[in-house]
Amino acid sequence: MDNVDAILAEQVAYYRARAQEYDEWWNRDGSYDRGVEANAAWSAAVDALEAWVREQVPAVLDVLELAAGTGNFTRVLAAHADRVTAVDSSEETLELNRGKLRALGLDTRVDFVAADVFAWSPPRQFDVVFFSFWLSHVPAATAAMFWSLVDAALKPGGRVVFADNLLPWDPSAVKAGDLSPRTLNDGSNWTVVKRYWLPDELAAELAALGWAVDVEVFDPLFIAAHGGRAADR
């Protein structure tokens, strides 16, 4: 991928512009409404994924959530973790995140940090590093840098837990390379990084970077993994 910095800057700008409509995707509203049957399948997969996250992130832990977004998983984490540090590059999405957590009475358990993940250094080490629907936006060229950040953020023996898209609803939307065109409700056009993996491919890519993870599939929508440094296992 040429000009990675410019693509990442556009991706940050895109998610700031998309903040107010992001949850349309998560809630299957507007242009993301696929009809009763497909929406029900989505909701069932979301419920299963949230239950899986609760299993993989035990209570009474200090959790770092990278690219926390509008809080769809921040609320899951904050419901039982001792402390959550939620980092996102967009103040707009973090404000929506705060609102969701405040409505649930969970905002006092979360430290919100507005920062570009690629330029941020963790202030301490955490029991768990979590991210959802984020790894697919990390270019292959910066994957080693990102996983170095995860490594720096984890306590010895700490765990990484994450989830992402398995395949898009429309497989034809997958373009060659790592880039994907996006259009917002206002008609503006953007380009973001979007990568997809099959389970064995994801495990192999992370193994090459020094991580040992177990990968699970919530067919046909989500892929998820948990594990840690290969040296710790």
Q: For each of the chain's 233 residues, which pLDDT tens digit applies?
A: 568 999 999 999 999 999 999 999 999 998 889 899 989 988 999 999 999 999 999 887 899 999 999 999 999 999 989 999 999 999 999 999 999 999 999 999 999 999 999 999 999 999 999 999 999 999 999 999 999 999 999 999 999 999 999 866 555 555 546 888 999 999 999 999 999 888 999 999 999 999 999 999 987 789 999 999 998 87
Running DSSP on this structure, what letter comes out for residue 175? P
Q: What is the pTM of this model?
A: 0.93
Instruction: Calculate the CA 178 to chain-centre distance.
Output: 17
| C-alpha triplet 14, 24, 38: angle, nearest 5° | 125
So what's the pLDDT on residue 2? 65
SS3 content of the chain, % helix, strand, coil (to 5): 45, 25, 30
Number of neighbouring beta carbons within 10 Å of residue 87: 21
So what's the pLDDT on residue 1? 56
Reading the block at residue 198, the tokens are 């099959």
CA distance 184 to 190: 8
Reading the block at residue 126, the tokens are 């955490």
Considering only the top CATH level, what class is 4-232?
alpha beta
Q: Are 164 and 132 in contact (CB under 8 A)?
A: yes
So what's the pLDDT on residue 220? 77
Phi, then psi, of 103 in degrees rounded to 5: -65, -25
